Structure 1
């Protein structure tokens, strides 16, 4: 299980980097002005593009918001997988724990 999860994290890390570039090049970095949600919700609101939502300076741009949120969700999944790997390494072999813990100091 550890090895498959590790391989999944490597692939997901590559996907997060690609999504980050796509988000940046698509000028969607501010598609959702707040974090962790988007305009106070977990997903991009259903309001029409250009709608000025109460309490926010920027109007809603749904396409940019979705690009940003997909990147955030992928990065969150990667973080969760890394935490699971760390706990599995903690419970597993001592060499595995050292190989997972020592790089965190760099």
Structure 2
């Protein structure tokens, strides 16, 4: 963990940007989803968007701090990103194009 504070900050900002793009992609998939599935996906997006906004705000607040606070924040970012990746994977369109399932 020999990264400088600025390197870590930039890495986290990059992760937040990727997270935001993933949320936009998930929203796009929800808009194409069937009505009954849409409600569950919208609730999930709402939760993920809230987590994203909290992470973004924490990054801004922590930008002047270091040490264990950063480690905890990075671990939280990793968990949140994993949840987003899972949501994106679960909403991937079927590769065979079969949508009646």
Place the TM-score, normalised by the shorter chain, in its bin.
0.3 to 0.5
* TM-score after normalising by structure 1: 0.40
TM-score, length of structure 2 as denominator length: 0.42
- Select the structure that is richer in helix: 2
- Work out which of the two has the higher radius of gyration on C-alpha atoms and give 1 or 2: 1
